[in-house]
Homo-oligomer: A and B are copies of this chain.
Amino acid sequence: MDKESIIEILNAVAEGEITVSEAELRLKLEPFEELGFASVDHHRGLRQGVSEVIYGGGKTPEQIVKIAMALINKGQKTILITRLSKEKADIVNKDMDMQYYEMGGIGVVGSIPEPNTKGTILIVTGGTSDMPVAEEAALTCRVLGNNVKCLYDVGVAGIHRLLAHSRDIMNANVIIAVAGMEGALASVVGGLADCPVIAVPTSVGYGASFGGLSALLSMLNSCASGVSVVNIDNGFGAGYMASMINHIGGK
């Protein structure tokens, strides 16, 4: 709040234009209102130009269609819908044209854009059961304009499978490491790579994996530098983060 605004309020009080309590309220509110956060939001949209995302998890198909329609009407070309079950997708598809990717539980309205950055995001998984989470990440990356390469089932129990791909690891701009059970993949990939690694623990496993807790703790404690972690099964979050990093070069 600059000096002029305060003086203006005080003058208004002095001249009886506003009451003391109105002045008090305006003094209390000013710091927030003056920052104009609507514009912040606009600004962010301008610079990031990211496709819009709808978290489908807690929404009805009707709500999803309604939101998507509104976005399309405002000119959005591509809309990503995450955590979308087959059942919901079928209902949505009756009302609008949407491409559904069942493994990752992802719907895409509009066309996936051409990559608008050169670097590649490499996605590796420990096992085949981690694929749904990896697919969620991969589609998120693609919709956000990235080149993506996927290596599935290259877990550390057969380390040669992973090493056979060291050229891909060396060449990636960002890596997303997706693994459940003991989550050791993140550390091994982190040790091989010289780029940032986003680790995604998955809830794959049983018994003492405690719904992904084992992989989560493992990844947080990674002895390799350059590894950071997102929530269990959060393929979307990893993809979004990786895309942000992958676009930094072009800024």
Is A143 located at the chain interface by the 8 A CB criterion? no
On chain B, the residues within 8 Å of A229 by CB distance are: 220, 228-230
A13 vs B219: C-alpha distance when bound (angstroms): 40
Is A226 located at the chain interface by the 8 A CB criterion? yes
Point out the residue from B183, B184, B210, B245 that lies within 8 Å of A196, measured CB to CB: B245
Cβ A241 vs Cβ B221 within 8 A: no
Point out the residue from B198, B206, B212, B251 that lies within 8 Å of A232, measured CB to CB: B206
On chain B, the residues within 8 Å of A149 by CB distance are: none
Cβ A222 vs Cβ B40 within 8 A: no
A174 vs B196: C-alpha distance when bound (angstroms): 12
Is A104 located at the chain interface by the 8 A CB criterion? no
A14 vs B11: C-alpha distance when bound (angstroms): 9
A223 vs B58: C-alpha distance when bound (angstroms): 14
Cβ proximity bits A198-241 to B, threshold 8 Å, 1 near / 0 not: 10010111111111111111111111111111111110111011
Residue on B with the closest CB to A42? Answer: B160
Cβ A208 vs Cβ B214 within 8 A: no
Copies of this chain, count: 8
Residue on B with the closest CB to A21? Answer: B7
Cβ proximity bits A5-17 to B, threshold 8 Å, 1 near / 0 not: 0110011011010
Is A33 located at the chain interface by the 8 A CB criterion? yes
Main secondary structure of the interface of A (DSSP, over half): helix
Residue on B with the closest CB to A236? Answer: B225
On chain B, the residues within 8 Å of A230 by CB distance are: 220, 227-229
Is A74 located at the chain interface by the 8 A CB criterion? no
Cβ A33 vs Cβ B164 within 8 A: yes
Residue on B with the closest CB to A132? Answer: B58
Cβ B218 vs Cβ A183 within 8 A: yes
6 more A-B contacts (CB under 8 A) besides A3-B24, A10-B13?
A: A13-B14, A38-B160, A40-B170, A155-B223, A208-B231, A228-B229
What 8 pairs between A and B have smallest CB-CB spacing?
A37-B160, A207-B232, A184-B184, A32-B164, A58-B129, A214-B217, A228-B228, A157-B191
